[in-house]
Structure 1
Amino acid sequence: MIRSVCHSTRIVIFSIMLAAELGANLWLLLDNWNVINDAFELLPIPAPFRWKLLGHFVENFAACVSWELIATRD
């Protein structure tokens, strides 16, 4: 019983961290207000390049999830 509670707690913590990382990545990638650019004095990123990065982000995420499903199957 203790092991399953500990395991489920780790899954919840991992899920929260994954959601936070996804949210932060998408916010930084698709932010049109340039909050980050102004804070760090960066050059603006063109919209087509942002969409290309979003495509790479989605492809990488899908590949990682697919690999985890394959590697952790019983």
Structure 2
Amino acid sequence: MELKQLIQLCKRKDFKAQELLYRRYSDILFHLSLKYCKNREEAQDNLQDSFIEILNNINKYKNKGSFKGWIKRNRINL
């Protein structure tokens, strides 16, 4: 599925699209979380919190710039 379409479905609260988005970006964010957390368990918790924030704020993403960069910035600011 194309990223723009996936984001639009996530904005409509489509559960399957949200799951696909999680699967597509969870490894990237987990490795980023490891840099900021004390251990893997804390990084996993942080990953879950990050995705909750991302999905709650996905309407703020306006298709300008990289989506990957946007979610990474969201994680860093968490």
TM-score, structure 2 as length reference: 0.29
**Larger relative contact order, structure 1 or 2 (CA cutoff 8 Å, min sep 6):** 2
Structure possessing the higher radius of gyration over alpha carbons: 1
TM-score, structure 1 as length reference: 0.30
